[in-house]
Amino acid sequence: MAKEFHRADRVADAMRRELAQLIQHEVRDPRVGMVNVNDVEVSRDLTTAKVYVTLVGEDDPSKIEISMTALNKAAGFLRSQLAKEIQIRTIPRLHFRYDETSVRGQHLSALIDKAVKADQKHSEAGDDQVDEDRGEDKGHREESND
């Protein structure tokens, strides 16, 4: 069955594309670095939009907070620019949120890599131990003196 698209979904998609361009080309605030717009969630009544972003190459929580504050202060400007680009009656109010899913994904990926390496080391050590045990079992049988 085909996925049903609602108007809010279409507006969110258009806003995501336009915001990515606007932030890159129109926002002049030095506190806002390289920003990826990952997702936009628009309410059904089209009054508010949560804009999920990540900051390229930025891991420092204090700098992330400063950048997010700057983006939220630029929300009015961005909303007015969106009104020029997207043909709808009212542009939703923008609320920028830092998207931690990529950070969590990187953390989980690192944990998986660490577990795989530990498993390989354990497996190799176990193979060596099995070989040693087999050698002892084959050549060194003790005879019982009953």
Pairing mode, strands 93-98 and 48-55: parallel
pLDDT of residue 128: 58
pTM value > 0.85: no
Helix (H) or strand (E) holding 77: helix 75-85
Contact status, residue 96 vs residue 72, Cβ threshold 8 Å: yes
- Kindly list the strands in the beta sheet with 48-55, ordered across the sheet, starting from the edge strand earlier in the chain: 35-42, 48-55, 93-98
d(CA 39, CA 81): 18
> What are the 10-residue block averages of pLDDT along the chain, 146 residues in total?
70 94 92 92 94 88 92 95 91 94 78 89 70 52 52
Provide the 3-class DSSP secondary structure of residue 1. Answer: coil
Q: 23-48 pLDDT, tens per residue?
A: 999 999 989 989 999 999 999 999 99
